[in-house]
Amino acid sequence: MIVATTPRLTLRHFTPADLDALLALYGDPQVMVLHPAGPMGRAQVEGILAHILRCYERPGYGFYAVVLQESGAVIGQCGLLDQELGGQSEVEIAYKLLPQHWGAGLATEAARAVRDYGFARFAFPRLISIVHPENIASQRVCERNGMRRIADGAWHGLDGMLIYAVERPAA
């Protein structure tokens, strides 16, 4: 199921056939350098894919495959992820792209599409992004996505994470 299109991208539901694309993403040391788990193997990624597919049923959203329209290649993921920060439920825009696609504005393009989809389809009052303080590129994606830094906080045992947020526009 397609959830959004942009001038260069299609965002769609993942399918079981996308396992190798996800393995390339989650197994890449550059992509996973700041992730607490580090690069992942096939068994871990199979579990992630199974979780992604379950999320489409409940809560009804999750990570979407980021597909280059030009080639049809899956180059990453971007989507909506339930989080809890300081005892409060939030929905995060999160993304990962293969390194060869960094620096071309594709993460921003995908994140904006997911932001708009989240506000239009689910009427979330706000969306957040949680960014490692060393990930300057992701901080810039947040800013270009209309987000502002609202706090620093702990997330999954990592202190000092940067919390960005964007409010749903008034109708």
Extended strands (E) in the chain: 2-5, 9-13, 63-68, 74-85, 88-97, 126-131, 148-155, 158-167
Q: Is the pTM of this model over 0.85?
A: yes
The domain that contains 76 carries what CATH number? Answer: 3.40.630.30
Helices (H), 12-94: 19-26, 42-57
pLDDT digit string (tens) for 20-78?
999 999 999 999 988 878 899 999 999 999 999 999 999 999 999 999 999 999 999 99
Q: Which domain holds residue 41?
A: 2-167
The secondary element (H helix, E strand) that includes residue 138 is helix 136-144
Q: How many domains does the chain have?
A: 1
